Amino acid sequence: MHLSLTQQCCFWTLLLLLVSMVQGENKTSSVNVKVWNISYHSPTGHMLNWAIKSSQDMNHLISELSTYVNKFYAQGRGFNKRIIRCHTSSLSRPKNEEQAQNIESEVLLTLAHTLLQAWVDALHHLWAEMADKLGCTPPILTKALEIKTINRNLLESMKKIACKAKFALGGNVNAPLWSELERLQSPYRDTRYFAFYNLFRCLESDSNDVEMYLKLLKCRMLKSRC
């Protein structure tokens, strides 16, 4: 069916009107996040700086181990073509920094804490299974232990920051359970190797998000440049 010139003009006018209405709704629905006036040299400021530095150190170690696993256990196996499934995918969270900018500080801190908590069991078993199932050397195992330790320390730091900022940490958000131990211990080499590959891909992504949330919190709480 062909539309007349008049009908076409009416159609495009209506479409543009709808688009402008949606854009207007999106602009007005953005969250007005609270800016906290906390001194850079205050205990909370020091804790935030320490948490960010620790998160960066952890991300560096994760990247090193991920590269190691990719090089010696995943290369040439086509793992990069498989679907990656993360146990934290069920969490409702911003997809990027732009979306995170519109999330309340209390929610960001809760998300960081929840992600760290979700990896406690996985990091414990990662450290144990890398020796048994991959035959990793002591230097590699030391890095895995460091990641596990930093994760635990960051969890404690999150609680202290929440207390200082008077945040209700946690809310109704429960950390997703990790249930991939059976795959890490699989007698089938391909299954076992892919489980380690999958774990590091997910861990790297979640840990990067934690660092991003902490940096945004610092921008707001210490009025730093974002």
Q: Which tens digit of pLDDT belongs to each residue from 144-161? A: 999 999 999 999 999 988
Task: Give the residue numbers spanning the domain of 23.
Answer: 1-30
Average pLDDT over every residue of 22-35: 43
Indicate whether 20 pLDDT > 70. no
Structural domain tally of the chain? 2
* Domain contains 4: yes
Kindly state whether residues 5 and 65 are assigned to the same domain: no
pTM of the model: 0.81
Kindly state whether residues 41 and 88 are assigned to the same domain: yes
Kindly state whether residues 55 and 161 are assigned to the same domain: yes
Kindly state whether residues 17 and 48 are assigned to the same domain: no
Higher pLDDT, 188 or 167: 188
pLDDT at res. 74: 94
Kindly state whether residues 107 and 211 are assigned to the same domain: yes
CB proximity list for 151: less than 8 A, separation 6 or greater = 58, 116, 119, 120, 123
Q: Write the CATH number for 212.
A: 1.20.1250.10
Kindly state whether residues 108 and 157 are assigned to the same domain: yes
Kindly state whether residues 25 and 62 are assigned to the same domain: no
Angstrom CA distances, 144 to 42, 68, 125, 128, 166, stand at 32, 12, 10, 9, 33
Average pLDDT over every residue of 83-96: 93
Kindly state whether residues 13 and 87 are assigned to the same domain: no
Kindly state whether residues 197 and 121 are assigned to the same domain: yes
Kindly state whether residues 69 and 163 are assigned to the same domain: yes
Q: For 188-220, what is each residue's pLDDT tens digit?
A: 999 999 999 999 999 999 999 999 999 999 888
